[in-house]
Structures are given as structure tokens and as C-alpha cells.
Amino acid sequence: MVHIIKDSLIERYGLMTMIALGEIISILYDFSKTPINWNRFIQFTLCIILIALLAAVYYQVLGELHIQLNSSIATSLTGWLFLLVILFAFLIGVSLHLVIIDGNLESKILFSFSLILMLLMIRVLFLISIHFKLSKLEVKLSWILLIEMIINLSAAFLPAMGMILLDILVLICFSFNVSQHLLFFI
């Protein structure tokens, strides 16, 4: 028996993710009420770009999914993966706020892990939707994921703006990499 995660449910998960990302922007807006200087303005702008890229990656990968699974347990677990994406989006917001406020290493590592895990969950959901039919591309995806993890974790040791800028570059590369694989399956 085929179990389908309906498009309307996937859309609801997407809306909850957008709410989470919107909450990050509202937190950043509160941060912008402090005395503005060029450093704060650039940080605020980079954070908005980062959040916009996260939304773009989310919808680029998960926006058009059609998930059919063979068991109800797999369908339930896939729903939980969507909820994990939302959880990590909120965690990205909290940790990004901490990075901007004090920029200590712990908050930057929390942010990096949150970003890594959100991108990992997005990849896993994509792989589930195509029933893991990547063959040779699975190895390439594994290496790319490992490289992204190393870059994200090493970015935590940079100053806050450098870390955010490097994460923006990683998201741009992630988006380009995913679009290449999506074209492969069309």
C-alpha cells in the first residue's frame, strides 16, 4: 500500500518554516533598535540575506516534493523530519541572535550545528522523495556535505560577520549544488 504525504501537508510545514524564519527577522529587527553604526547595519543586512537564502533553499528543494512511501511508519517519520527542519530553523534564529549579541564561540558553534542539521534534514527529505535513486551522486553528495560541515564548523572560529558571510557563501553553493541535482531528476 502506498502512503502519500499530501501536498497540503507539505505546504503547511513550509508555512511553519516561514513563520520560524520570520521570527528570526523580527528578532533581528529588535536588535536593530540599538544605536546604529555601519558594523551593526552590515550585520543586520547579512543576517537578512542569510535568512532569505535559507528560505530560498527550503523552497527550492522542498517546495515541489511529492512523497510516496511504502509504510505508514515511514510516512510518520518523514513528517517528523519536517518538524526537525522547523526546529532547527528556530534554533538558527536563537543562536544567530546570540552570535550578534555577544559573538562567543559557543553561540557560533550552536549556530553552525543548527545550520548543518537543517541543511542535512532538507537533504534527507529530498532523498526520501526520490527514493534514494542517486547511485553515483550519493557519494558526491556525501563529500559535499562533509565539506560543508567542515566549512560551517570552521566558520565558528571567525568573527561574527565573517562567519555569517561564509555561511551565506555555503548556502549559495548549496543552492547551486541542489539545483544541479534537481535538473538531473527532471
When pLDDT is cut at 50, 70 and 90, the band that residue 140 belongs to is low
Provide the 10 A C-beta neighbour count for residue 144.
17
State residue 108's pLDDT score: 92
What is the pTM for the complete model shown?
0.82
Residue in 151, 179, 181 with CA at minimum distance from that of residue 167: 151
pLDDT in tens, 26-65: 777 666 666 777 877 888 888 888 888 888 888 877 777 7
Asked whether the beta carbons of 24 and 92 are under 8 A apart, the reply is yes
C-alpha cell at 136: 553515483
pLDDT in tens, 67-113: 777 777 777 788 888 888 889 988 998 888 888 888 889 999 999 99
Average pLDDT, the chain: 79
